[in-house]
Every structure is written in structure tokens, then in C-alpha cells.
Amino acid sequence: MLKTIKFAKNWNSKLNAEVFGTIRKKGTGILHGDQVAIVLADRVYKWAQVVGVCECKYTELSPVLLALDTGITDLTVHAVMKQCGIDTDNLDTEVEYLLLKSIPRPHQFQNPETAIQLSMYGK
């Protein structure tokens, strides 16, 4: 099954990097080693492999990590995280930080049978 990580915006132009990260609500089901489609504005932007998963409480994320993730260095970063579905007001909110490495399109998604799956993502 094709796993995806969706982005509405290329925050801090991070998707252009070879290695990049993203903060998500805990429970994505994405695991270390998974190959995923990175979807930006409903189109496959690139492919990546998960090279690290770190679970923590939102309040444990450093301002530096939040700035690297979003490009925002002031308190408005919390409003952005809230728009992404993370309850920034709850001290017990758990998140995952996914570290990803760009890869070529995985072999299993290059054959015609997967074209239907990919077509819904614009590729």
C-alpha cells in the first residue's frame, strides 16, 4: 500500500533538500524504513525513505526544531502547528518527528498496475 505524507505548503523550502523532517500528530502509521510519496498540493512532489522517527510531546520540541521545520522563528509557529491539526494548547499532545531522505521513485511504483494509484496524486 502506498503511504503518503501530505503538505499544503513547502515550509522553509525543506522539501527541496536531500534530507528533511516533518512534525506530525502521533499515530501516522509511518515507520522507520518506509518508502513514502511526498505529496505537495495534491501532487506527488518526490519520494522519500523514512530514516528516523522520534516520538515526543509537543512541548518538548525545541524552538530551533520548530524553526527548521517551518521557517518561522516567532510564536506564530504555534498557530501554524495548530492549523496542521496539532493541539498546541494541550501539554500532553504527542507528536512524531519524521526524518526523511529523498530517493528515486521506488521500483514497486514504476509498473502500470500502480499508475491508477499514482494518477490520483497527479503522477
Residue ranges and CATH numbers for the domains of the chain are 3-119 (2.30.130.30)
Each residue of 76-107: pLDDT tens digit? Answer: 999 999 998 999 999 899 999 999 999 998 87
Report residue 93: phi and psi, to 5°: -60, 125
Q: What is the DSSP string of 18-73?
A: SEEEEEEES-----TT-EEEEEETTEEEEEEEEEEEEEEEGGGS-HHHHHHHHS--
Rounded alpha-carbon distances, angstroms, from residue 7 to 43, 50, 102: 10, 16, 15
Closest among 51, 59, 63, 56 to 98, alpha carbons compared: 51
pLDDT tens for the 123 residues of the chain, in order: 779 999 999 988 999 999 999 999 999 999 999 999 999 999 999 999 999 999 999 999 999 999 999 999 999 999 999 998 999 999 899 999 999 999 998 876 666 455 445 545 444
For the full predicted model, state whether its pTM sits above 0.85: no
